[in-house]
Structure 1
Amino acid sequence: MTTKALLAINPRPTEQEALAALRYNLCRCGTHVEILRAVMRASGQLTEAVD
């Protein structure tokens, strides 16, 4: 829900803006890098090579 709200007001956030928006939602399990990557992918700013 936080990501949807972020992208609604800022469709192309920087990584720092995404981190700031998610600062209270990041987990302790170490997957926060994957969460940030998903936000950037959802905003269309990250594309990954497909084998």
Structure 2
Amino acid sequence: MLEALICPVSQRPLEFDPERMELVSASARLAFPIRDGIPIMLVDEARKLDD
């Protein structure tokens, strides 16, 4: 199911980070959390990635 999700900002595919339980958008430089097995695809909830 995670393969079907795309970044709400860039509209590009996401990569799953199993260590942090996040979906990472390299193009938007955001990481969206997964809580209780549910991806939280809200920009306000995303962590900004450092350079």
TM superposition score category, shorter chain reference: under 0.3
Scaled by the length of structure 2, the TM-score of the pair is: 0.22
Higher gyration radius (CA) = 1
